[in-house]
C-alpha cells in the first residue's frame, strides 16, 4: 500500500498500554515546559468558526474545510478549523495579554484533503500557541531565539521521558541549523523541496528552514503558506531527522505574524486582496490586533518522533484506507 511504508525489521518497542502511558507523559511534560519557557497560559479554543469571517487557516489556499450550516443560527455556515493561526491573535486582544505573554491550546482539526501516509492523517492535533511581541521584536534574531527555546523544550522532554521509560532512546540534537529556503535551494539545486528537507535533516539533525511562502529562484515557493498570518520573511519550519523513516519530520510551522504592511504585500503577491474584506484582515491592516509570534507544534508527530514510531497511526486514532490496519498488523505495527 502506497500509504504504508514500514522499514524492514521495524517493531514497536512497547505494547499498546505502555505506548498510551508514554503518549500522556510526553504531552503533559512538553506542554508544561513549553508554557514555562515561552510564558504562556492554556486557554480554551474552538473547533468551529464561521465561514464568513476569514478566521480559518487557508493552508495552501486549495484545501476544502469541512463546512455545514447550523440550523439554530439561521443556517449560517460554519467550518471545522484547519488550525487556529488567526483565531489566536484575536484571542490575545480579547484577553488583553501584555507584551511577552501569550497563550497555548489543544487544537483538534480535520484536514479532509491531506494525504494519508506514515506522517500524515486527516485528523490533526497540535499545540497552537501565540504570544504578544513588540514591534522591535519583529526580527530574524528574535525568531531564531524562540525556535531555539522550543527545541530546548523538546530536548528536555526527551531526556525526562528516557528516565521514565527505558525503551525511549531518541537523542534530540538541540543545536539548530538555521538556513533559509533560498540557501537550501542553492545548496541542493536539483532536489525538490521535500528532498531538500530530507537532506538537511539527515545532515544536521535539527533544522529551522526559514522564509517559506515567497518564490525562490526557480519561480516556485519552497512550500505553500497562507499569505495572511505568517510574515514570509520571518517564518519557517522546525525539521527533525526521523531515524526510523530516514527522513525529515516537520514538527512545527511557525513565525512572526503579518503586520499592516506585510499582509497587504503578501495578499497582493498571492492575488488574494479580496480577503481584505474579512473582519480579521481589516483588523490587521488597520493595526487593531497585537503584533505576535506563534505557531503549531504537532502533538502526534512529537510523540511519534520521541517514541520512535514508524506510523502516526501508532500514536493517534484516525481513519485509514481499507486494509491498512490489517497490512500493518502483518508487519508488526499496531494502529490505534
Domains and CATH numbers, the chain: 16-316 (3.30.930.10)
| pLDDT bucket at 1, cuts 50 / 70 / 90 | very low
**Rounded to an integer, what distance in angstroms lies between the CA atom of residue 333 and that of residue 336?**
10
Grid coordinates belonging to 329: 498488523
CB-based contact 98:107 (threshold 8 Å): no
pLDDT, tens digit, 9 for 90 and up, residues 180-230: 999 999 999 999 989 999 999 999 999 999 999 888 777 777 777 888 889
pLDDT, tens digit, 9 for 90 and up, residues 74-115: 999 999 998 898 899 999 999 999 999 999 999 999 989 888
**Rounded to an integer, what distance in angstroms lies between the CA atom of residue 242 and that of residue 204?**
12
CA angle 248, 30, 229 (to 5 degrees): 65
Q: Which residue has the higher pLDDT, 215 or 137?
A: 137
pLDDT(273) > 90: yes
Full-model pTM:
0.92
Weakest mean pLDDT among 25-29, 34-38, 263-267, 330-334: 330-334
CB-based contact 139:121 (threshold 8 Å): no
**Rounded to an integer, what distance in angstroms lies between the CA atom of residue 225 and that of residue 334?**
33
- Mean pLDDT, all residues of the chain: 92
Q: How many CA atoms lie within 13 A of 110 on its CB side?
A: 12
Rounded alpha-carbon distances, angstroms, from residue 52 to 56, 70, 264, 278: 9, 13, 20, 7
Rounded alpha-carbon distances, angstroms, from residue 194 to 9, 177, 191: 25, 17, 8
**Rounded to an integer, what distance in angstroms lies between the CA atom of residue 194 and that of residue 58?**
21
Q: What is the mean pLDDT of residues 132-141?
A: 97
pLDDT, tens digit, 9 for 90 and up, residues 244-261: 999 999 999 999 999 999
Positions marked active-site: 57, 111, 126, 237, 250, 253
Q: Which residue has the higher pLDDT, 118 or 59?
A: 118
**Rounded to an integer, what distance in angstroms lies between the CA atom of residue 49 and that of residue 54?**
9
Edge to edge, the sheet with strand 48-50 lists: 48-50, 76-80, 67-70
Q: What is the mean pLDDT of residues 275-298?
A: 94
Q: How many CA atoms lie within 13 A of 89 on its CB side?
A: 30
**Rounded to an integer, what distance in angstroms lies between the CA atom of residue 295 and that of residue 237?**
9
- Residue 2, pLDDT score: 54
Amino acid at each position: 500500500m502506497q500509504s504504508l511504508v514500514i522499514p524492514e525489521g521495524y517493531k514497536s518497542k512497547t505494547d499498546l498500554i505502555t505506548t498510551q502511558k508514554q503518549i500522556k507523559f510526553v504531552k503533559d511534560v512538553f506542554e508544561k515546559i513549553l508554557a514555562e519557557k515561552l510564558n504562556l497560559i492554556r486557554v480554551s479554543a474552538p473547533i468551529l468558526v464561521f465561514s464568513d469571517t476569514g478566521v480559518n487557516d487557508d493552508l495552501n489556499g486549495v484545501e476544502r474545510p469541512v463546512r455545514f450550516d447550523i440550523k439554530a443560527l439561521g443556517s449560517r455556515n460554519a467550518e471545522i478549523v484547519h488550525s487556529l493561526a488567526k483565531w489566536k491573535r484575536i484571542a490575545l486582544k480579547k484577553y488583553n495579554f501584555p507584551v511577552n505573554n501569550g497563550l497555548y491550546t489543544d487544537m483538534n482539526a480535520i484536514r479532509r484533503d491531506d494525504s494519508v501516509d506514515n506522517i500524515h492523517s486527516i485528523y490533526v492535533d497540535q499545540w497552537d500557541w501565540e504570544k504578544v511581541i513588540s514591534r522591535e521584536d519583529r526580527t530574524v534574531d528574535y525568531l531564531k531565539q524562540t525556535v531555539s527555546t522550543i527545541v530546548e523544550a523538546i530536548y528536555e522532554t526527551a531526556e525526562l521521558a528516557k528516565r521514565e521509560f527505558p525503551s525511549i532512546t531518541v537523542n534530540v540534537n538541540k543545536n539548530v541549523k538555521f538556513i533559509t529556503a533560498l540557501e537550501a535551494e542553492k545548496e541542493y539545486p536539483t532536489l525538490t523541496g521535500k528532498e531538500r528537507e530530507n537532506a538537511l535533516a539527515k545532515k544536521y539533525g535539527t533544522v529551522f528552514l526559514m522564509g517559506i511562502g515567497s518564490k525562490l529562484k526557480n519561480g516556485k515557493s519552497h512550500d505553500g503558506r497562507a499569505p495572511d498570518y505568517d510574515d514570509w520573511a520571518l517564518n519557517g519550519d522546525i525539521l527533525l531527522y526521523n531515524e526510523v523513516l530516514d527522513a525529515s519530520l516537520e514538527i512545527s510551522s511557525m513565525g512572526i505574524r503579518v503586520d499592516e504592511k506585510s499582509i497587504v504585500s503578501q495578499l497582493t503577491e498571492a492575488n488574494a486582496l479580496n480577503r481584505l474584506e474579512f473582519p480579521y484582515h481589516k483588523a490587521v491592516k488597520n493595526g487593531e490586533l497585537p503584533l505576535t509570534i506563534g505557531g503549531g507544534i504537532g502533538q502526534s508527530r512529537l510523540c511519534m518522533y520521541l517514541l520512535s514510531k514508524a506510523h502516526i497511526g501508532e500514536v493517534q486514532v484516525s481513519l485509514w484506507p481499507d486494509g491498512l490496519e490489517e497490512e500493518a498488523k502483518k508487519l508488526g505495527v499496531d494502529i490505534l
